[in-house]
Amino acid sequence: MGRFSVIETGIKDLKVIKYDPFVDLRGYFFESYNKNDFTNLGIADEFVQDNESMSSKGVLRGLHFQIKYPQAKLVRCLKGKVFDVAVDIRKDSPTYGKYYGVELTEDNNTMFYVPKNFAHGFLVLSDTAKFSYKVTDFYHPNDEGGIIYNDPDLNIKWPIPCDESFKIMLSDKDTKNPRFKDL
């Protein structure tokens, strides 16, 4: 049996996963993914691709989703610190339009499972962050959707430092994302 535990988020199927690495004088080791262990946690997805990004402080990636080819994601921060957010965009869900945010760091032994049909994004809080995503479908460039990160209806509480040197950086595409109500 793996060394994983789940923290429920209050949104069906969305899960925070804590792991317990084996630590000794040499460093640490843990299985970051084991199909049997994750199935026992209620996550039976078939992951087909691993992605990794490196971003600098203030970069906000998201909120992104896929339209015809939705992806579930298993994400974690390999280096640095991010605030990671998932928004329920399942129209038949009782938590439609609700979000959950979690801090992921290189030290807090936490992963975030984001099911299909959620918008996802993260804000980098450290000088740099290396971020890992396992996904259940391949990237389809013409299948992207997005929601503006500061949508007043979603009212996401991004932990933006009150520091004049902290500036939010978005891609050109993300500056044009619509509001949630306009999807």
Residues with a catalytic annotation lie at 64, 133
**3-state DSSP assignment of residue 143:** helix
Instruction: Specify the pairing of strand 15-19 against strand 4-8.
Output: antiparallel
Instruction: List Cα–Cα distances, 106 to 18, 40, 131, in angstroms.
Output: 12, 25, 9
CA atoms within 13 A on the CB side of 17: 27
- Report the chain's terminal Cα–Cα distance, integer Å: 42
Residue tagged 């990671």 (tokens) = 84
Residue 31 has which token pair? 């299985």
Nearest in space to 122 (alpha carbons), one of 104, 143, 98 = 104
Helix ranges (DSSP H) in the chain: 35-40, 172-175
CA atoms within 13 A on the CB side of 55: 24
Q: Rounded to an integer, what distance in angstroms lies between the CA atom of residue 178 and that of residue 143?
A: 15
